[in-house]
Chain A
Amino acid sequence: GQNIDQPTEMTATEGAIVQINCTYQTSGFNGLFWYQQHAGEAPTFLSYNVLDGLEEKGRFSSFLSRSKGYSYLLLKELQMKDSASYRCAVRGDNAGNMLTFGGGTRLMVKP
C-alpha cells in the first residue's frame, strides 16, 4: 500500500520562499509528482522526480530522496497567484499511470 503525508496548510508572504514537504511509504516506487490545484479548477502538473536530487523549473524546484522517502517542493519569489493546493503523488512500480495522491497542502500567500 501507499501512505503519503504532507502538511494541511501553510501561509507565506508575497516575494518569500516556501518549502512544502512530502513523506511517503510505498510498496513500490516509480516516480514522484507535484501538482498545483487552484480552487474550482483541475490539477496541473508541476514536476516529476524519479532519481535523487533537485529538479529546477523556473520559480519552482522539487527535490527527492528515495532512501528517506522524502520530497519537497520549493517555491521562490512567491506571488499571490501561487495561492493554491499543492499535492504530491507517487506512482508505484506497476505499469501505467496510477498515482496515489497525498491530501494536499493549501498554501495561502499574503501581501
Chain B
Amino acid sequence: KAGVTQTPRYLIKTRGQQVTLSCSPISGHRSVSWYQQTPGQGLQFLFEYFSETQRNKGNFPGRFSGRQFSNSRSEMNVSTLELGDSALYLCASTYNGNNEQFFGPGTRLTVL
C-alpha cells in the first residue's frame, strides 16, 4: 500500500503571495489532518477533513484554508503569505475508527 504523499516537497514563495499544497492519503483513509511544524512552535494542528467536510479546526487565522475532494485527496491554501508561515507542513491520514495517524513526508515552505 502506498503511503501518504505530499506535493510539492519544497516551495519558495515571497511575502504576499499565496500557495496551495496537496496531500493524497493512503487508499481507503477518509480522514486527512494538516499540521504546521516550526522550530519555535513545534507541531500545531491546522484542520481535519473527513468525507469532504471540515471536522476540526485549529487556532490559525483565516488565511489558512483547506478542502477535501471526493477521492479523499486534500489541499490546503495559505493566502497573503507572511515570513512566519515558513514551516514544514505535514498531512496525516487515518482510517476512520482507528487511532494511528500516518504522516506524509511534508512540504517545506520558505517565505522570503
Contacts and interface: CB of A to CB of B under 8 A. Distances in A.
Interface of A: 31, 33, 41-45, 48, 87, 89, 94-104
B31 interface: yes
A96 B31 contact: yes
Contacts of A98: 33, 45, 48, 56, 58
Interface stretch (B13-21, B60-68, B77-85, B100-108): B100-108
Given A96-B55, A97-B33, A101-B44, 20 more contacts: A42-B90, A42-B105, A43-B103, A45-B100, A45-B101, A45-B102, A48-B99, A94-B56, A95-B56, A97-B31, A97-B92, A97-B101, A98-B48, A98-B56, A98-B58, A99-B101, A101-B35, A101-B42, A101-B43, A101-B45
Interface string B20-57: 00000000000101010000001111001010000110
Contacts of A104: 42-43
A87 to B, nearest CB: 7
Contact of B94 (A43, A94, A97): A97
Overall SS of chain B's interface: strand
Contacts of B43: 43, 87, 89, 101, 104
Contacts of A97: 31, 33, 48, 56, 92, 94, 101
A42 B56 contact: no
Contacts of B90: 42-43
30 contacts: A31-B99, A33-B99, A33-B101, A42-B106, A44-B103, A45-B100, A45-B101, A45-B102, A48-B99, A48-B100, A87-B43, A89-B43, A95-B55, A95-B56, A96-B31, A96-B56, A97-B48, A97-B56, A97-B101, A98-B45, A98-B48, A98-B56, A99-B45, A100-B45, A101-B35, A101-B42, A101-B45, A103-B42, A104-B42, A104-B43
B50 A41 contact: no
B20 to A, nearest CB: 20
Nearest to B4: A42
